[in-house]
Amino acid sequence: MNTAPAAQGAETTGERTGGCLCGRIRFTARGPAVFPHTCACSHCQRLGGTPVMWWVGFETVTWNSEGGEPTWYETFEGEAKRGFCPTCGSRLAAIDSDIPEIGINVTALDDTNSTDLVPIHASFPDNAVHWLPPMPQTPHSAVG
């Protein structure tokens, strides 16, 4: 990939790092944050052990620790797979055949505070748990 010197630090173009809880798997994501959203589908709930997962897409993700890539589990064979650390179980990523970006669990990023990670959409609201308030409208909601 492009390793030429480039402007760094801009929120929408800079590199972002992340990894799993135990540190076996580390990654660098590049490109703008694409379609940050939450998802309450049954796969996210069951795989994540959580009522809702928080996703964002990036053009490229490099798995750059000795642990290599996550272990992939195909949720829809040949169409979608989810990546997790085989040691600590942290959820890290998803690849869908019809989506160009690599999905990253925002919670795996080292810095989750960037404003461009604020969800612009809530997927599968009908499957959301009843005791958690719906995601409020965000300043970016109109985009999604």
In degrees and rounded to multiples of 5, residue 36 shows phi and psi of: -65, 130
CA 47 centroid distance within chain: 14
Which one of 29, 61, 85, 122 is in contact with Zn ion (CB under 5 A)? 85
Q: Is there binding between residue 71 and Zn ion (CB under 5 A)?
A: no
Binding mask 103-142 for Zn ion (x = CB under 5 A): ----------------------------------------
Nearer to Zn ion, 6 or 22 (CB): 22
Q: Which tokens is 134 given?
A: 């719906």
Instruction: Show the tokens assigned to 92.
Output: 């890290």
**102 makes contact with Zn ion (CB under 5 A):** no
Considering CB under 5 A, how many residues would be counted as binding Zn ion?
9
Residue 44 engages Zn ion in binding (rule: CB under 5 A): yes
**Contact residue for Zn ion among 71, 75, 87, 141 (CB under 5 A):** 87
Site membership for Zn ion, residue 94 (CB under 5 A): no
> Which residue in 27, 106, 15 sits closest to 67, CA to CA?
27
Choose the stretch contacting Zn ion; rule: CB under 5 A; options: 14-22, 94-102, 105-113, 132-140. 14-22
What is the per-residue burial (b if ≥16 Cβ within 10 Å, else e) of 113-123?
ebeebbbbbbb
Q: Does 41 bind Zn ion (CB under 5 A)?
A: yes
Query: Cα separation of 99 and 34, whole Å?
Result: 11
Q: Which residues pair with residue 76 across a beta bridge? A: 80
Between CA 141 and CA 5 the distance in angstroms is: 34
Q: Rule CB under 5 A: which residues touch Zn ion? A: 20, 22, 24, 39, 41, 44, 85, 87-88
